[in-house]
Structure 1
Amino acid sequence: MKIIASVLSVLRPVRFLVVAFTCALILLSSAFPAFAIDSYQSDPTEGTTQLLDIQRKTDEAAKSPPAGMKKVQEESNKGLNEVQGAADIDQQKNPENSQSATSVEENIKNVLEKVTGK
């Protein structure tokens, strides 16, 4: 019993440091998200037009009978898919705009080379 009491008395300063470190970590982690305020502030009406158009097409599709294959293919060929059309097509990743991208395997190899120094 004396051994446990002596070990606990030795760990008392360490316990205080752990508690102090944890409190500091919680304080700092809750304060740093406030720095994100300076980043890009989007306009609340920025995506409204596209969404309203998509909603209109969805409502029309729900009220009409099932579309035939030719109609679906015509709508799909206009953009990404039948409903979305060409909305945000410039932000989508595709082979044409991803030529310089590195694969996950290449990223892991690069990290391992940096860590091992080879």
Structure 2
Amino acid sequence: MKNIGFDLSMLRPVRFVIVAFTCALLIFSNALPAAAIGSQKSNPEDATTQLLGTQKETDKLSTEAPPGLEETQQRANEGLNEIQGAADIEKMKRPENSQTATTVEDEVKNLLNKVTGNQ
């Protein structure tokens, strides 16, 4: 029995280190904002204008009788979906407009090459 008590007392420093590491991780994750890799800042007014148009379309559809299947399919085929239409379709990532995009794997390889000094 003495051995079990002795072994458990040896784990106290390990528990302390785990708790300290967890507390430090929580503090730093709350203190530092998330970093978006390669993102550009957007203009909030553009989004407001698009949202108002979408809201007007939603209000108009909610006051009318539900549209039929043909009308719904026709409106959905005009853009991304029935309500949103073609708003922001040029910003949406698709295979057609992503041919020159770099993958996360490529970005990590480039970063590792920079860190290790291999060009």
TM-score (norm 1): 0.59
Partner of 2:80: 80
* 1:58-93 Cα deviation digits (max 9, x unpaired): 2222223344636862x4454323321221011112
After superposition, residues 1-118 of structure 1 pair within 5 angstroms as 1-33=1-33, 42-67=42-67, 69=70, 73=74, 75-100=75-100
The structure with the greater share of residues assigned to helix is: 1
Aligned residues, how many?
102
- Could you say what secondary structure the match of 1:83 adopts? coil
Cα gap change, 1:45 to 1:17, in 2 (>3 Å): same
Aligned mates of 1:48, 1:33 — CA distance in 2: 24
Cα gap change, 1:81 to 1:11, in 2 (>3 Å): closer
Q: In 1, are the aligned partners of 2:72 and 2:82 still within 8 Å (CA)?
A: no
TM-score (norm 2): 0.58
Give the fraction of aligned pairs with identical amino acids, expressed as a percent.
Answer: 55
Question: How far does residue 3 in structure 1 lie from its aligned partner after superposition?
Answer: 0.8
Partner of 1:116: none
Unaligned segments of structure 1, at least 5 residues: 112-118
Q: Looking at CA atoms only, which structure, 1 or 2, has the larger radius of gyration?
A: 1
Unaligned segments of structure 2, at least 5 residues: 110-119
